[in-house]
Amino acid sequence: MEDVNPSISPQPEKQPAHPHSPAEKERIQNRLKRVEGQIRGLQQMVENDRYCVDVLVQITAVQSALKKVGYTLLEHHAKTCVVSDIQNGNEKESIDELLKVIEQYAK
């Protein structure tokens, strides 16, 4: 099952010009696993009728952790894929795509 944000238009799937190194993948996967654990903790907090403020604080922590993962991916994309596109003469398309994703991400 694929979760898709309906406010974000699906992009045609592209192959990465510069895939993440095994170490980068592991770091990102570990962060996402921590977020997954935090989400399970949130579910348990709701199940156990924890104080609303405690749940909200934990939600903020999850959002922050996901933002950090996103910034890591955004930085990698800008430093590798966008730079490569610019060097290959595809700067307009690449910059437009980068600006669009930054705008969506900043919401």
Q: What is the CATH number of the domain that holds 49?
A: 1.20.58.1000
Q: In 1-107, which ranges are continuous DSSP H helix? A: 22-47, 52-76, 83-87, 91-106
- Other beta carbons within 10 angstroms of residue 82's beta carbon come to 20
At 33, is the secondary structure helix, strand, or coil?
helix
CA distance 37 to 47: 15
Segment 36-47 shows an average pLDDT of 98
- Structural domains in the chain (count): 1
Does some domain include residue 10? no
- Per-residue pLDDT at 15 exceeds 80: no
Asked, for residue 96, whether it belongs to a domain, the answer is yes
Residue 31 lies in domain: 22-106
pLDDT in tens, 44-73: 999 999 999 999 999 999 999 999 999 999
What is the percentage of the chain residues whose pLDDT exceeds 70? Answer: 84
> For residue 15, is it within any domain?
no
Residue 63 within any structural domain of the chain: yes
Residue 13, domain member (yes or no): no
Query: So what's the pLDDT on residue 1?
Result: 41
